[in-house]
Structure 1
Amino acid sequence: MPDTSPKFMNYAFLFVLFLMVITQHIHARSGTIDPHRCLTLLNNGTWSPLAPDGSRRWEPKDCRMVEHTADSLHECLNDRKVVFIGDSTIRQLFWAATKQVAHRKSETRIKRLLQSNGKHHDISFRANNVQLEFIWDPWLNSTVLHDVLKTLHALPMPLDVEAIAGMDELPPVLVILGAPGLWAARYGGDDYLNLFKRAVTGVVPYLSPSFDNNISQAMKTTHDSGDIPNRIFLAPVGIPDYSNLAPNRSKSITPERINAMNNHLSQVFPNNLSYIPWVYNQIPTSSKSDFDIDGLHVSDSMAALKLNIAFNALCNSAASARSRSFKGTCCVVPLQNYLTLIVCLLFGTSTGFVAGARHNLEIAGNSAVVKFVETLRNILAALLWCWYADGTYYLIRAERHYEQGIFVATCLIWLVVSVLSLRKAPQQTDGPSSSKRDPRYYRGPGYISRSQSNEIKGLMQGIILLYHYHYASQALWVYKIMRLFISGYLYISGYAHTLYLLKTNDFSLNRVIEILFRWNFLSVSLSYMMGTTYTSYYFAPVITFWYLVLYVMLRFFKSYNRDLRWLLLKIMVTARLTNSFILTPGILEAVTRFIHAVFFISIDVEEMRFRLRLDRYITFIGIIVAALTHRASVRRERAFLQLGCTGAMLALKFTLWLAIICVGSIITFFYVTQTYLQEKQTYNQIHPFISWIPILCFIVLRNSHRMLRDRYLLLPNLLGRISLETYVLQYHIWLGGDATAKLFMGYWEGR
């Protein structure tokens, strides 16, 4: 039968290329309007569903905003000034800014300012290198206002030095104006709209389209340097909570007047909305908690959110240039990555090589060369797709929300589809193995076959992918089950590799390099390509660590591996030493520093220690079971834990009682852990000591009858063969933002 895999890969690459062209076309069409997704931040968004803890988040459409901390704002606004000009609603944003940029030591100063300043006074506040100013000007007609706007330039200071020469102080990097709508409605009488138009006309020259074009240019030219372009925003007329307005206000501040003034703003800037954050009027809801008691001002949390939207528009691009781990995608210029050019060149070369020289090389007997180049091509294609999906902004990143019903339903669908792929397992002889590496009279493992292990890994991996996609880590009961899945994978890995080493005595360096290369090449390549840390794909370093532990343990004094008592002693000593290696401060840090110095790979030590500590015993359980299985097989005893054989009544009763014990143990385990361990930290502390219970019981049940042993699930089996690859690739293909968001192509809504 001819090998169709090369043809399949070619079709797959053409399909991926087609998707890339289509999404680039969509992005190009939308990019003429909103190339960096600033407009979507300022004009469109919605509230997320309530999280399990009752919280909610504001989410712009088709991009992600972040909550900037005091440190990130100090880094963004370094020696720059932010000016707020308007009425009391804009003063709310000023107070929110003082709290956001100030550290705790400045809280007393903020309280003094609140007490000492009158309602209609200018206020100034400085926190380290950030200067904040509020100018009381509810009509937007003061001399101070125009002096500030005259000093504002679209390009950052280093790019426009001549324009600021001779100035006493640097111009502001951010100006937020408040449209004088509330004052016009309250005190303008029947002439309110003309007064409003006159005030807006005075600031229109500073909000020209050329200014916005310079902003876009500045974002591109200063992205690599980490500088920021200057921004100016004109806040629309706020929509109050009409039901709570005082009688004297409700007579003049009416929906008709507010809508008329906002309609005028939309007509003044019909094709350019980057100066007016219309989203400010979408944020408050009918909830009373979103407004102050007067109904005119929003709550402090709503004011902080409005301010954070402005800071996202100002600081996100520079923050993204400074750190690849930055999660914001609103108002961000894509990073330049020259590694992609190298990968593209290699990919094109390898593809052309396979297409042009494949036939001649196979005739010459150099099929290994063809296989190597095809493998290289596949890896390069995966790297390119990861960069395209998660390193650029052609695909949309949407926030994940946990909805228990949808998550459970998709998991059930995966399980049902898996069961429908039931197949009969390949026949295995009970006599001596035909493998030249098997010891004489070796009867095989008889405990968990390769098809079973792949099936179990595939079943777990499918649910893990759904777990991350649906953000099910928000539910503690799901988290506990996922921890068991990770432990189960480590158990199977420890069992399989130990059994292989005991059976073949193959401790060759070539095999070690082959295994480590297969487990780590993709993760390491992605850490270079995507600018992430090696521990971002934590499962690869974790399973590598445990493989090296069991290999070193079995390699040293390997002659003692034949004696079960000495082998168990080696296991206990290794477990104790490994436990000290993981938990003792300083040891893991020294190893990671060495790895970073040699390979330039960044490793998060605390993350690594946390992951290793969670599963520090389950691999040794797998090693012990493999040792017992190997001993029983070599001695030509009945295959270890191969239950349910037809024959004596005693064996049938033993099988039945063992099955009852396993089922009872699993039920008891889940009842206790789901009922009494209601804190994640508490469960994490006890997990290493109890995770083996349901894992061993499940595998015993899986092998408790010949009908179960002789069949396997094909679909999970296929996924289990590439479970590690799918786990790593999910961070940039199945998900985005280093597995913190869902990816969409733009054909339908991202939420």
Structure 2
Amino acid sequence: MFGLSSVADRVSLTVVSTFMLVAVLLLSLHQFSPSSRIHNHCRALQRDGWWADKQSLLWQPNGCTLRKYSALDVQKCLAPSPAHTSTLISEHVLFIGDSSLRNKFYALANIINPDYMRTVSDTKAHSDLTVGWPAIGGAVARFIWDPYLSSNQTRKVLEGRAPVAPRVLIVGTGAWYLHNGDESGGVHEWRKTVDRLVLDIAALRDNGSVEHIYVSPISTVVPSALSTERRRTLNPDAISNMNAYMDALDLPMLMAWLRMTEGMAAETQDGLHYSKVLNNRAVGVLLNRVCNREVLAKHVRPPFLTTCCFEYPAPNGFVVLMMALTAVGLPLLIVLGRQLPAGAMPSARTLRQMLVFGGVLLLIYVCDRTPLFAKLHKSFDARVFALLIGLALAGGVATWDEDKSGGFLGRQQTDEWKGWMQIIILVYHLLNASTVAAIYNPVRVLVAMYLFMTGYGHCVFFVKKADFGIKRLTSVLLRTNVLAVALAYMMNTSYMDYYFAPLSSAWVLVVWLTMRVAPALNQTNGVWAKLLVSAALVSAVNRWHLWPFALLARLGVRWVQREWEFRFGVDIFIVYIGMATALVVVRHSTQLQQHVRWAQMQRWAMLLSAACVAWYFWFEATRKDKFVYNAWHPYVSPFVVLAFVVLRNSTETLRCHTSSLYRATGLISLELFIAQFHLFLAADTKAVLVLTHPRLWFINLAVVSVVFVGMCRLLGDASGAIVAWMMAVPSGAATAAAAASGEPTAGCADDIAMLELGPNLVTDTGDTGGDGRQTRVLSRLDRLAAKPRLIMRVGQWLRHVAVHSLGLRWALGLLALLVLNNIYD
């Protein structure tokens, strides 16, 4: 009903790939051209932005994400330098202006020294202020009350004659010229002050005495909230014209501060001064503009929690190697491959899949480890969440079709199951729904469902096939981990960051060991004792912290013990529930269906399952928070999972119908889950990737989704081909064997878990046409793979790899782009 033919599928993926290639090239020309000054988003941070969430006052600069600065971060950035430690006054941030700037000084002072705000109430309103760290000595920030920028003290600073020049200088004027026009000379005198300020700033920049200089715009006023006297003088149109005049003079305006006050009448009581929270956000913009390069330069490991005024680290050796292989090495091998002896290297098809794999990895790197594409903060919106889930549900209903091979937890049904769960998880991550306990809790159940299928699928295979071969186990682990491991090296992240891969791998090993020990018991009731013993041992290892983390640390693997033990322990029983379900289905399903009271048991099971689901949603919604729920989750999630299994298979119509949209999504669920960290999302899921314009949220979501799904399809096919080559099993033969036996294909991690990779498979000798393939039977089931002729392969590669002019240009061009990303200013 909705399925795409293989030809149409290839065409769609080609279109997506071509679109991404052209887009990256065009944006590269724009982003890294000599005239561009936007690549690190400093200017965008300083001048533009909007409120992504007015309720929580989440400020979104145009194209980058902000860092929330703590007192320690501010101290790292603004602590007095050795040259200033002996000076009595060594301010590093100096505000000069009126009450609007004073409120921003208060916001900064509250970060530097929260105790300071308890004593400031005794200070006169129109007076100078100073705040610092007592343990360090001297001043960190100072405020000079001078709304006209005309005092002797101000003139000394602006003319570079102050005893100590500040590192950061923020000045502002205008409101008092309007409010006291008769005394100050009004707008005419204000223009003279601003014109002189232009010359002063130019002189300070020339002598380099002040590192950062900014001009505060005049804040937007709310006439309805102003007093009668202020309403008469503080005209919004006049303020707008004054700000436009300063901006036209190319002053270093903090225009983002002005954008923050527009349309924010709820954040002011007197119509002129804004709330503490809003001033805190304004100071956050200032700190990100001033401190990001210095503070974040010392934090070069991802995740990069901010992309504003941030220089990404240079590409590591693995990235450079991948660039060389993708741009030069693999294309040459494809071209020259037919001149080599059969079996000396992978087939042309496998080489093309390797090329695709490397190309998509490089695309992911460019998207998330360079400033080429914008990144936005994630924020939760209940209406958007409901809309996206509704659209996904509508898509599933529209693609509902008949599955003639349907049965209890059949392949099509489990593919569909993984598909709709993955869609929900993507929406959940996109909208940062983890902050909402009523959504976080059910999503934890979705992870439990994945693990339930892991236990169920592997146990069914082991009971039916009794195949505990190392070859099959290795294939499963490689297929599960090849993308996660490659991304860990490529993106300089931790393998643990892609937690589903290590989690699934660990449980695969647990199931394999449980069924491998005393395999004769698998056909008797003794298997239940094995499950209980295994569950007890695994629980003890996790509870008593017996994982070999010390060994991993010695091997250089970054592994957070608490995070792993939480991830593993929160669903520690569900895999065994899946195994128990598999044993019941395999050994007793026929007897149960022939029981005289089977129909009655079905009705009661459906009724209890529906009640269980309803009870669960009441239960999880009434917990105090998600942390309280997590303590209950290992014990309540199995009931919900089993209830869903019963309801999904309760009638023949439900068993024999599935959604083709969800099935297609489920086939690449592993790639969707792992690649979302850097392609669908960004900054290791901490932000949202933007491929269009930052303000076009829904259009960007549509474009990113198409590109993301297309790239994951390519990654899925490429990963399967690479694993098949590594295991000396051609993916085409494996797929054919699986189709013939009714087993799932190698489309995702859990599919290959049920795939028999045993004898009678064809090895890949390098000829895609099939004429050069040699059929042979693997002598031992546990053999890892046919021994590769490494010496001959390496020798042939070294002999035939030469400098190809086109490939060399591609490699140098991409290398130059990535290098410029880190040195261009």
**RCO comparison, higher one (Cα < 8 Å, 6+):** 2
Aligned residue among 19, 25, 28 for 1:21: 25
2:366 is matched with which residue?
A: 388
Does the CA contact (< 8 Å) of 1:188 and 1:195 recur in 2? no
2:390 is matched with which residue?
A: 412
1:745 is matched with which residue?
A: 691
**Residue 356 (structure 1) aligned with residue 335 (structure 2):** yes
Does the CA contact (< 8 Å) of 1:41 and 1:60 recur in 2? yes
Aligned residue among 170, 175, 190 for 1:176: 170
1:139 is matched with which residue?
A: 148
**Residue 77 (structure 1) aligned with residue 78 (structure 2):** yes
Alpha-carbon shift at residue 713 of structure 1 (Å): 3.1
Alpha-carbon shift at residue 178 of structure 1 (Å): 1.7
Alpha-carbon shift at residue 574 of structure 1 (Å): 2.2
1:558 is matched with which residue?
A: 519
TM-score, normalisation: structure 1? 0.81
Q: In structure 1, give the amino acid aligned to 2:255.
A: W
In structure 2, what is the Cα distance between the partners aligned to 1:679 and 1:417?
Answer: 32
1:595 is matched with which residue?
A: 552
**Residue 203 (structure 1) aligned with residue 197 (structure 2):** yes
1:536 is matched with which residue?
A: 497
Does the CA contact (< 8 Å) of 2:326 and 2:355 recur in 1? yes
In structure 1, what is the Cα distance between the partners aligned to 2:207 and 2:534?
Answer: 64
Does the CA contact (< 8 Å) of 2:158 and 2:204 recur in 1? no
1:45 is matched with which residue?
A: 49
Aligned residue among 314, 333, 344 for 2:311: 333
Alignment: residue pair count: 678
**Residue 719 (structure 1) aligned with residue 676 (structure 2):** no
**Residue 664 (structure 1) aligned with residue 664 (structure 2):** no
In structure 1, what is the Cα distance between the partners aligned to 2:382 and 2:123?
Answer: 51
Aligned residue among 258, 261, 267 for 2:242: 261
Alpha-carbon shift at residue 41 of structure 1 (Å): 2.0
Q: Which runs of 5+ in 2 are unaligned?
A: 82-91, 698-825
Question: What secondary structure sits across from 1:123 in the alignment?
Answer: strand
Alpha-carbon shift at residue 744 of structure 1 (Å): 2.0
In structure 2, what is the Cα distance between the partners aligned to 1:251 and 1:711?
Answer: 71
CA 1:145–1:657 in structure 2 vs 1: closer, same or farther (change >3 Å)? same
**Residue 457 (structure 1) aligned with residue 418 (structure 2):** yes
In structure 2, what is the Cα distance between the partners aligned to 1:8 and 1:249?
Answer: 62
Alpha-carbon shift at residue 208 of structure 1 (Å): 3.5
1:111 is matched with which residue?
A: 118
1:619 is matched with which residue?
A: 575
CA 1:90–1:682 in structure 2 vs 1: closer, same or farther (change >3 Å)? same
Pairwise mapping of residues 216-365 of structure 1 onto structure 2 (< 5 A)?
230-255=211-236, 257-269=238-250, 275-284=252-261, 290-291=267-268, 293=270, 295-321=271-297, 322-323=299-300, 324-338=302-316, 339-349=318-328, 351-353=330-332, 355-357=334-336, 364=342
1:269-306, Cα deviation, whole Å (9 max, x unpaired): 2xxx5x1112322323565652354x443332222222
In structure 1, what is the Cα distance between the partners aligned to 2:351 and 2:218?
Answer: 63
Q: In structure 2, give the amino acid aligned to 1:84.
A: F
Question: What secondary structure sits across from 1:332 in the alignment?
Answer: coil
Q: In structure 2, give the amino acid aligned to 1:284.
A: T
In structure 2, what is the Cα distance between the partners aligned to 1:534 and 1:498?
Answer: 26
**Residue 729 (structure 1) aligned with residue 641 (structure 2):** no
1:635 is matched with which residue?
A: none
Question: What secondary structure sits across from 2:371 in the alignment?
Answer: coil
**Residue 607 (structure 1) aligned with residue 563 (structure 2):** yes
In structure 2, what is the Cα distance between the partners aligned to 1:308 and 1:679?
Answer: 29
In structure 2, what is the Cα distance between the partners aligned to 1:151 and 1:519?
Answer: 63
Question: What secondary structure sits across from 1:85 in the alignment?
Answer: strand
2:765 is matched with which residue?
A: none
Alpha-carbon shift at residue 725 of structure 1 (Å): 1.3
CA 1:292–1:583 in structure 2 vs 1: closer, same or farther (change >3 Å)? farther
1:655 is matched with which residue?
A: 602
In structure 1, what is the Cα distance between the partners aligned to 2:459 and 2:525?
Answer: 13
Does the CA contact (< 8 Å) of 2:574 and 2:638 recur in 1? yes
Does the CA contact (< 8 Å) of 1:457 and 1:716 recur in 2? yes
In structure 2, what is the Cα distance between the partners aligned to 1:239 and 1:418?
Answer: 48
Q: In structure 2, give the amino acid aligned to 1:405.
A: R
CA 1:290–1:353 in structure 2 vs 1: closer, same or farther (change >3 Å)? same
In structure 1, what is the Cα distance between the partners aligned to 2:273 and 2:67?
Answer: 24
1:163 is matched with which residue?
A: none
Question: What secondary structure sits across from 1:83 in the alignment?
Answer: strand
Alpha-carbon shift at residue 365 of structure 1 (Å): 6.4
Pairwise mapping of residues 413-562 of structure 1 onto structure 2 (< 5 A)?
413-425=391-403, 427=405, 447-562=408-523
1:383-407, Cα deviation, whole Å (9 max, x unpaired): 2121111111222222333333333
In structure 1, what is the Cα distance between the partners aligned to 2:133 and 2:665?
Answer: 57
Alpha-carbon shift at residue 9 of structure 1 (Å): 6.4
CA 1:390–1:206 in structure 2 vs 1: closer, same or farther (change >3 Å)? farther
**Residue 397 (structure 1) aligned with residue 356 (structure 2):** no
Q: In structure 1, give the amino acid aligned to 2:685.
A: A
Does the CA contact (< 8 Å) of 1:117 and 1:123 recur in 2? no
In structure 2, what is the Cα distance between the partners aligned to 1:523 and 1:739?
Answer: 15
Alpha-carbon shift at residue 626 of structure 1 (Å): 2.0
Q: In structure 2, give the amino acid aligned to 1:596.
A: A
Q: In structure 1, give the amino acid aligned to 2:288.
A: N
TM-score, normalisation: structure 2? 0.74
In structure 1, what is the Cα distance between the partners aligned to 2:639 and 2:565?
Answer: 23
Pairwise mapping of residues 363-374 of structure 1 onto structure 2 (< 5 A)?
364=342, 369-374=347-352
Question: What secondary structure sits across from 1:458 in the alignment?
Answer: helix
CA 1:126–1:658 in structure 2 vs 1: closer, same or farther (change >3 Å)? closer
Q: In structure 2, give the amino acid aligned to 1:421.
A: T
Alpha-carbon shift at residue 480 of structure 1 (Å): 2.6
In structure 1, what is the Cα distance between the partners aligned to 2:452 and 2:177?
Answer: 70
1:78-98, Cα deviation, whole Å (9 max, x unpaired): 325111222333222222211
Question: What secondary structure sits across from 2:678 in the alignment?
Answer: helix
CA 1:308–1:31 in structure 2 vs 1: closer, same or farther (change >3 Å)? farther
Q: In structure 1, give the amino acid aligned to 2:543.
A: L
In structure 2, what is the Cα distance between the partners aligned to 1:147 and 1:68?
Answer: 31
In structure 2, what is the Cα distance between the partners aligned to 1:301 and 1:6?
Answer: 52
In structure 2, what is the Cα distance between the partners aligned to 1:750 and 1:611?
Answer: 36
CA 1:368–1:426 in structure 2 vs 1: closer, same or farther (change >3 Å)? farther
In structure 1, what is the Cα distance between the partners aligned to 2:476 and 2:200?
Answer: 63
In structure 2, what is the Cα distance between the partners aligned to 1:706 and 1:672?
Answer: 31
CA 1:677–1:32 in structure 2 vs 1: closer, same or farther (change >3 Å)? same
Alpha-carbon shift at residue 3 of structure 1 (Å): 9.2
Alpha-carbon shift at residue 176 of structure 1 (Å): 1.0
In structure 2, what is the Cα distance between the partners aligned to 1:146 and 1:516?
Answer: 70
In structure 1, what is the Cα distance between the partners aligned to 2:27 and 2:64?
Answer: 16
In structure 2, what is the Cα distance between the partners aligned to 1:214 and 1:370?
Answer: 60
CA 1:482–1:118 in structure 2 vs 1: closer, same or farther (change >3 Å)? closer
In structure 1, what is the Cα distance between the partners aligned to 2:329 and 2:10?
Answer: 13
Q: In structure 2, give the amino acid aligned to 1:112.
A: T
1:91 is matched with which residue?
A: 102
In structure 1, what is the Cα distance between the partners aligned to 2:126 and 2:574?
Answer: 65
Does the CA contact (< 8 Å) of 1:101 and 1:127 recur in 2? no
Alpha-carbon shift at residue 610 of structure 1 (Å): 2.2
Question: What secondary structure sits across from 1:126 in the alignment?
Answer: coil
Question: What secondary structure sits across from 1:84 in the alignment?
Answer: strand
Give me the CA root mean square deviation.
3.5
Alpha-carbon shift at residue 71 of structure 1 (Å): 1.4
CA 1:117–1:210 in structure 2 vs 1: closer, same or farther (change >3 Å)? closer
Q: Which runs of 5+ in 1 are unaligned?
A: 153-166, 216-228, 429-445, 633-637
